[in-house]
Amino acid sequence: MSMVLCSTGALIGRPNGRDFHLLGPLSEKLDCDGFEFMMYDTWYERAEELLEYLLEEKLNIPVMHCEKHIGEAISMGGTENMKKALGLFEKNCEIAGSIGAKKLVVHLWDGITSDAHFENNVRAYGELSHIAKSAGLKLLVENVVCNYENPMKHWMELVKMYPDIRFIFDTKMAEFHAQLDLLYEPEYDWLLKDHYIDHFHVNDYAGGYMDWPNLKTLPIGAGHVDFNRFFQFIRENGYDDTFTVEATAFHKDGQVDTEMLNGCFRAIRKFLEE
């Protein structure tokens, strides 16, 4: 059965002090089925306090999103950066297991370096996958935006090297590279039909091709993503699993627009029922 999740990154950010204690009160105002927990680098030193709070709140967290500096360190390359990336990844796996997550989203490449040295990212996946499997987690590689090539090209390279790899598809990221429509092409529809895609981020986008100033995570209806076509394809191919809304809901004063997020949840459920 489909689950519509809310990213905790949509709720908590710098304007509200990255205060994870806000999750409990905010969860009572949200009509979602659970959460995708987004890890921040400032929380590593507070991991014990963080876990204690999340377990006390008994939040349903089937998916965890790894902290993004992991992908950045991998992209930069070198022995020390790789050691750092693997150490951080292990911590993320420990947290994911503790909070009951089953799926683990990773930015395999990230930062300014991005995919400039993609050989680093390809090589790293094997080690990340081994760590995740040992922790009982399903690792999902996101179609993160690229500075040099494009996500679909990199996905195809990864599949050739690791046939059992699985992915998370972000509508905004795909639209940024003008690749959303590739999902519907016979050349790539096996990604969904053969269950290579195992999770979705459902976000809108209002910019153009690789339009960096407009790379914003928008709520459904605030951009030009054709969600009618997207969800029709989803339904036709029998996907019935997890979707996450990531639309930034906190304002500069730290207040969170929960009604905007609830509107996104309602929209997704409506699309799925049509």
- Specify the number of domains making up the chain: 1
Residue 1 has pLDDT above 90, yes or no: no
Q: Which residues of 210-226 are buried (b: 16+ CB within 10 A; e: fewer)?
A: eeeeeebbbbbebbebe
pLDDT digits (tens, 9 = 90+) for 100-141: 999 999 999 999 999 999 999 999 999 999 999 999 999 999
Phi, psi of 168 (to 5 degrees): -120, 125
pLDDT digits (tens, 9 = 90+) for 27-56: 999 999 999 999 999 999 999 999 999 999
For the CA atoms of 13, 19, 25, 27, the dihedral, rounded to the nearest 10 degrees, stands at 50
Distance of CA 43 to the CA centre of its chain: 18
Residue 82's CATH number: 3.20.20.150
Q: What pLDDT is stored for residue 119 in this prediction?
A: 97
Domain that holds residue 27: 3-273
Residue 274 has pLDDT above 90, yes or no: no
pTM higher than 0.95 for the full model?
Answer: yes
Residue 262 has pLDDT above 90, yes or no: yes
pLDDT digits (tens, 9 = 90+) for 63-82: 999 999 999 999 999 999 99
Mean local confidence (pLDDT), 12-30: 98
pLDDT digits (tens, 9 = 90+) for 78-94: 999 999 999 999 999 99
Under 8 Å between Cβ of 24 and 54: no
pLDDT digits (tens, 9 = 90+) for 157-205: 999 999 999 999 999 999 999 999 999 999 999 999 999 999 999 999 9
Where residue 270 falls among pLDDT bands split at 50, 70, 90?
very high
Task: Number of helices (H) and strands (E) in the chain: give both, helices first.
Answer: 10, 8
Where residue 17 falls among pLDDT bands split at 50, 70, 90?
very high
